[in-house]
Structure 1
């Protein structure tokens, strides 16, 4: 029963979206285990699960970079060995053992995002960033749920999954990435300029924005594409004016050089500890050159899936789910925390299916939920099949035989977009984005 007139929720659907106990109990147990790992890492690193050394080792790179720039030592961040030595010296009292190699590989525009957190000190900024980005993701997901189901289902799926715990342990930025993707595509239907501006912010981590222009072109969202380009350009100009243009002049050739001839230390201590297509191919025995070609084919396949999705009549959530899965597949480097994107994509896929959901759907969702437990593939051979999960999820969303029946999923507007419409009194405007 559903009270649509009052914006009610379909209670039958709500019940159907509750995982069966055979999936829910082990899923929550595994999530609790990883979160327990977080709370035991400082006093007993490695005693429960993987040895993460200490909390916030990736945030050390972020915080160390912004502090170096603000302290007048900006060029340090482009020397991977010296920057690693700087981190080991600065955080010696926090680390349980020295970091082996932690270079800065992000564009200077990322420093704009880090700037407001710099005055809080290392630990304060680490905690504040996780809370702020987690809250932003919660807002985007709550808006995306609409009247389809209680937003708590989607929020819990994204914010308590094992991947989210690992994101918090490392001090990574996947909450922000997910919030920008979900919020940006959620705004496209009614506020294409604002949606494009949000999506353009993804350029702070380039591996997660490479499919954005492809999606917008496929959808015919030219206004959003223009806005995304302006957003990225504005971040570039602002970072150049605030931190100096020398950072960009140094970063661009460094990135081009790494694309042609990657630093062997980065391959050994960074990329091989992730679970990208390249990493898993190498670990399965492929030569590095062949693995690079396999990664390129995966990226092209991911781009093709985004084109198909955004030219189709799938709903906004399903298109966003394809984009999230394709983004993980296409990324030349990804970590276990990035599986948060796949958890959200899986939740969107489940929401698009007719109730009741068969057990195989919940089993697949459970396997994706547990993906971080199979990481790193370097240590756990079974984890080398991880790239198959986004491929399978994309197929289930796009292949006609598996595609969920189309259902009216209701409005998919961000809270910000809705507030803007109420303030201006403007009605819904038509555009060339097919929900």
Structure 2
């Protein structure tokens, strides 16, 4: 295959893309059905509880209702293992206290009803945000097909993760900044439940002069922190800070599994680099993302292109990102797909869309990280599209 064929990707026409989407959607549906059909008493063929990561959220909800400290690791493990004792240990809970109001209601329900409600509500909010973006940029396929075909959607469902909720807040906020900045700020403030993905938001809002969104986000974040403090006590913050070092150590030592992580940091570690080298590379990537955002957004009016670039850069800028977190890439993918066709654009969209389905198994099997490169390609092509759009719109 020649470089020109890859650069222009003429074979990725609308009809073929639609066919690929149907195939991917069918594969994702079949995977979930197979997972459920082969499970026994809620445990899959590999010995994992259906919903895997959700057990830590549900356990936290049960503990909060019982007046227990969710950040007491020994108590958390004991409570979790009362319901399910995994062969490979337990699922840790390192989320900040601002996340506790979201998980506390889960403890009222049994595990599987709570899991169903969690996925349904989070997924509904995510689809609403995606529909909003489609309304602004258009799409060549229906929402249901895009959602079912996108691999991170299936990964999020099978893990019972927070990714739908977080992506809905960030994607919805990015969509609302221009016309409803206060509502956008509320979304961004609530997204502090997973703060590593919001690192670029204040930079973009400052660069584009979105002061109402900034104030709204700050007030919302403080209000959420106050609600958490009033509900669960002031000591909850010290307890969380006390285990934060454990979270950093878990990431640095590979307790999570470098193959499961999609960041530049994890890629360097997977290839045998030292922790210092991994952090240095991650810092360089993060700084490059920030520098690009500054170049694109400085003294510019906020638009959806800048929002797409911000969301494309979010998973690149943090060392701790997993494959289910990549549902956030739906927004920059939608924006980019609606832009005039340019070299490398189709292939960048294909890589960012499809790579999450095999990035983790490939990394675990071979030690080769591929997702950081796919994310970097998407970010670079989105930035180039914004610059090209502005150049074409400027008078000659």
- 1:398 equivalent to 2:391? Answer no
In structure 2, C-alpha distance between the alignment counterparts of 1:258 and 1:74, rounded to whole Å = 16
* Cα offset, 1:194, TM superposition: 2.1
- Decide whether aligned partners of structure 1 residues 405 and 216 sit closer, same or farther in structure 2, where only a CA change above 3 A counts: closer
- Decide whether aligned partners of structure 1 residues 168 and 139 sit closer, same or farther in structure 2, where only a CA change above 3 A counts: same
1:84-233 to structure 2, matched below 5 A, reads 84-92=77-85, 97-146=86-135, 148-149=137-138, 153=142, 156-233=145-222
Partner of 1:30: 24
1:265-304 to structure 2, matched below 5 A, reads 267-270=254-257, 272-304=259-291
* Cα offset, 1:359, TM superposition: 8.9
* Cα offset, 1:27, TM superposition: 4.2
* Cα offset, 1:138, TM superposition: 2.0
In structure 1, C-alpha distance between the alignment counterparts of 2:145 and 2:204, rounded to whole Å = 28
Q: Tell me the matched-pair count.
A: 379
- Decide whether aligned partners of structure 1 residues 200 and 343 sit closer, same or farther in structure 2, where only a CA change above 3 A counts: same
Q: Which runs of 5+ in 1 are unaligned?
A: 1-17, 409-435
Q: Once the two structures are superposed, what CA deviation does each residue of 1:183-214 show, in whole Å capped at 9, x if it has no partner?
A: 11222222222211211111001111122211
- Decide whether aligned partners of structure 1 residues 138 and 349 sit closer, same or farther in structure 2, where only a CA change above 3 A counts: same
Partner of 1:54: 49
- Decide whether aligned partners of structure 1 residues 323 and 401 sit closer, same or farther in structure 2, where only a CA change above 3 A counts: closer
Determine which of 34, 40, 43 is the counterpart of 1:40.
Answer: 34
- Decide whether aligned partners of structure 1 residues 215 and 360 sit closer, same or farther in structure 2, where only a CA change above 3 A counts: closer
Normalising by structure 1, what TM-score?
0.78
CA contact (8 A) 2:177 2:302 kept: no
In structure 1, C-alpha distance between the alignment counterparts of 2:166 and 2:60, rounded to whole Å = 19
Normalising by structure 2, what TM-score?
0.85
CA contact (8 A) 2:270 2:367 kept: no
Q: Once the two structures are superposed, what CA deviation does each residue of 1:321-357 show, in whole Å capped at 9, x if it has no partner?
A: 2111110101221111122222331121111x12xx4
* Cα offset, 1:110, TM superposition: 0.6
In structure 1, C-alpha distance between the alignment counterparts of 2:177 and 2:114, rounded to whole Å = 32
Q: Once the two structures are superposed, what CA deviation does each residue of 1:123-147 show, in whole Å capped at 9, x if it has no partner?
A: 1111111111111122222223336
- Decide whether aligned partners of structure 1 residues 404 and 385 sit closer, same or farther in structure 2, where only a CA change above 3 A counts: farther
CA contact (8 A) 1:195 1:224 kept: yes
- 1:322 equivalent to 2:317? Answer no
Residue aligned with 1:111, SS = helix
Residue aligned with 2:316, SS = helix
CA contact (8 A) 2:49 2:84 kept: no
In structure 1, C-alpha distance between the alignment counterparts of 2:97 and 2:350, rounded to whole Å = 38
- 1:74 equivalent to 2:100? Answer no
- Decide whether aligned partners of structure 1 residues 401 and 336 sit closer, same or farther in structure 2, where only a CA change above 3 A counts: closer
In structure 2, C-alpha distance between the alignment counterparts of 1:301 and 1:167, rounded to whole Å = 28
- Decide whether aligned partners of structure 1 residues 166 and 263 sit closer, same or farther in structure 2, where only a CA change above 3 A counts: closer
Q: Which runs of 5+ in 2 are unaligned?
A: 1-11
CA contact (8 A) 1:374 1:382 kept: no
Q: Once the two structures are superposed, what CA deviation does each residue of 1:138-191 show, in whole Å capped at 9, x if it has no partner?
A: 222222333643696456424541110010000012111121112112222222
In structure 2, C-alpha distance between the alignment counterparts of 1:22 and 1:283, rounded to whole Å = 35
- Decide whether aligned partners of structure 1 residues 151 and 317 sit closer, same or farther in structure 2, where only a CA change above 3 A counts: farther
